Amino acid sequence: MDLNECIRAAFEQAFPGEDFGFVRVVPATDPRFGDYQCNDALKLAKKFKMNPREVAAKVAAHVPSALKVEIAGPGFLNLTVSPAWLDESLAAFAAQPHCGIPQTGAGKTVVIDYSSPNAAKQMHIGHIRSTVIGNALDRIFRVLGYRVVADNHLGDWGTQFGILIKGYRELLTDEERANLTVANLEKCYVLSAAKAKEADGAWKDACRAELVKLQQGDPANLALWKRFIDISIGEFNRMYAKLGVRFDTYRGESYYNPMMPGVVEKLQKMGLAVESEGALVVNLEKEKLGVAIVRKSDGGYNYTTSDLACVASRVAEYHPERIIYVTDARQQLHFKQWFDIARKMGYTDVQLVHVPFGLMSYQGKAISTREGNLIKLDDLLAEAKRRAYDIVKDRGGDEALAEAIGYGAVKYSDLSHDPITDIDFSWDKALALEGNSGPYLQYAYARVCSLLDKAGADAAAEGAFHVTEPAEKRLALQLLEFPGAVRRAAEAYKPSVLADYLFQTAQLYSSFYQNSPILKSAEDVRRARLRLVALFGKVLKTGLGLLGIATPRHI
Ligand code: ARG
């Protein structure tokens, strides 16, 4: 039985006809007051013009007898579960499909726009956050039953392609042109962009001319552009394969290009966009969001126009319940502006959500091109693997294990933080075997597997749960919280909620393990505890899986 549902039902019976979706049961802050508490009776007192303790008393009268309920303070409901309730709930939880995760997304679609690097450049350490956070949200929404469209909104259009095409033709060697790589493209861009700064302006003009030709559909330039994009996607996919990330679509900005004039026309017809100094703008001063340009004075469209065309296309094609955009926090104004414009254009049925994340520094230093410490993602992952290999090789670990631990460490060091915070990546913290790290949780899982292997047939036997010790009870109650933690992570768009939950669970497991003998206990106790161990293993594996972190059985 889900405790939240159970208490919500008590509210409904006490006050029929009201919506109690907001009612939440939370673990008690102090175990002396019970196992759980619900503070929502207070919120209703005003509405019903009743004393909050009276509201609480009315609700308490409908709480099933398996739960001991006490009214405390101004109207808190303190709940203590009976041993029988706990054992039965554990059995029901263990038997549920999807690890008890509610299928709240059934029949609904969510588009998640993440990673989205710019083409013709190598991915660097700055791309890790959007990729890892977006992918965790992707997995979390899928497990909640949503149909997820994971879309990589590549930066595949813009002035850089004029610079690249000119550079490709004149600055690369035949050899480089034949074996074109993203690294070559990046080099070609740097050289060509430098020449475009030359005083006579000839190179710049030539780049501009190539861009215009591309925009007008010149077959040779279009073919080159296509080749640059294909090579870029190939290289990005090599990174995604390492990270266990996959996309349903790779619709870059160019995909929406043909739709831009229509969007601008609509904005004009609706009176939302007006001419200003040759450009077309939407004034959002009233909303304190400044002014958004939707067509530049040279007739070109920009990022705002492209996102508006994109939302129209996604809504028409997928009818999503929501669209989630995972980008760095510096883009907040951009998203606020065009979300506002989109709503004014009538896109009110779709929830538009921006998940901004903070900056990442590396070993205490800001990452910047100028500092020369723009670490390539490929190098970061190689280093993670190398360091993890040093740790696991003495235990007979192989390359695959080093990848699981190294990449898991990189991902977890990001996902364990609230996305909006700035984070500092440190190898020591990421690869620590103790404390809140990926490897710590992976070790915890491997230890569970080896314990269950040692227990052999006993572990496989499906005996009853029987919780007795306090540490065991705390772990059991925490395990029942798993579906709630997944749901909360999705509601807050914070994989960190799930990471925190898993870390706390692992700590409770370790104190249970230290306090309650397992293999040496009498047979029935041993069986019951092994079931709890196995349930912890299942929750940990499922939870880490939702964060995109592998769970090797042997470390
Ligand atoms: N390419 C952009 C960048 O590198 C991110 C795109 C995010 N998605 C979007 N629909 N605007 O920052």
Task: Tell me how far apart the alpha carbons of residues 302 and 136 are, in angstroms, rounded to a whole number.
Answer: 29
Q: Which of 112, 113, 114, 116 to mutate to test the pocket of ligand 1 (most atoms within 8 A of CB)?
A: 116
Please tell me the predicted confidence (pLDDT) of residue 156.
96
Residue 248: C-alpha distances to residues 315, 347, 388 (Å) = 16, 23, 31
What are the DSSP E strand ranges found in 115-272?
Answer: 147-151
Instruction: Please state, in angstroms and rounded to a whole number, the distance separating the CA atoms of residues 160 and 166.
Output: 10
Task: Report the distance separating Cα 482 and Cα 540, nearest Å.
Answer: 9
CB atoms within 10 A of CB 289: 18
Would the pLDDT of 376 be above 60? yes
Residues with CB under 6 A from ligand 1: 113, 116-118, 153, 155, 307, 310, 325, 327
Task: With a cut of 70, say whether residue 302 has pLDDT above it.
Answer: yes
CA-326 nearest atom, ligand 1: 7
Q: For residue 1, what pLDDT is reported?
A: 57
CA dihedral 187, 190, 195, 199 (to 10 degrees): -170
Tokens of 268: 């004009």
Residue 18 has a pLDDT of 87
**13-64, pLDDT tens digit by residue?**
999 988 888 898 988 888 788 999 999 998 888 888 899 999 999 999 999 8
Total residues found in the chain within this entry: 555
Do the bridges between strand 322-328 and strand 360-362 make them parallel or antiparallel, or are there none, so unpaired?
A: unpaired
Which tens digit of pLDDT belongs to each residue from 317-346?
999 999 999 999 999 999 999 999 999 999
Q: Which residues contact 171 (CB under 8 A, 6 or more apart)?
A: 188, 191, 192, 195
Instruction: Report which residue type is found at 386.
Output: R
> Other CB atoms closer than 10 Å to residue 140's CB: what's the count?
26
Phi and psi of 173, rounded to 5°?
-80, 165
Instruction: Please report the atom of ligand 1 found closest to the CA of residue 310.
Output: 10
Average pLDDT, the chain: 94
- Residue-wise pLDDT for 172-188, tens only, equals 999 999 999 999 999 99
Residue 308 Cα to ligand 1 midpoint, Å, equals 13
Query: What is the model's pTM?
Result: 0.94
Tens of pLDDT, residue by residue over 203-230, are 999 999 999 999 999 999 999 999 999 9
For 395-422, the pLDDT digits (tens) are 889 999 999 999 999 999 999 999 999 9
pLDDT (tens digit, 9 = 90+) per residue, 94-125?
Answer: 999 889 999 999 999 999 999 999 999 999 98
Token readout for 525 is 């106790």
**CA–centroid distance, residue 370 to ligand 1 (Å):** 22
Measure Cα distances from 472 to 514, 516, 518 in Å: 10, 7, 11
Q: Rounded to an integer, what distance in angstroms lies between the CA atom of residue 315 and that of residue 252?
A: 16
What is the C-alpha to C-alpha distance for residues 251 and 314, in angstroms, rounded to an integer? Answer: 11
The residue whose CA is least distant from atom 1 of ligand 1 is 155
Instruction: Specify the pLDDT at position 364.
Output: 86
pLDDT at 297 (0 to 100): 93
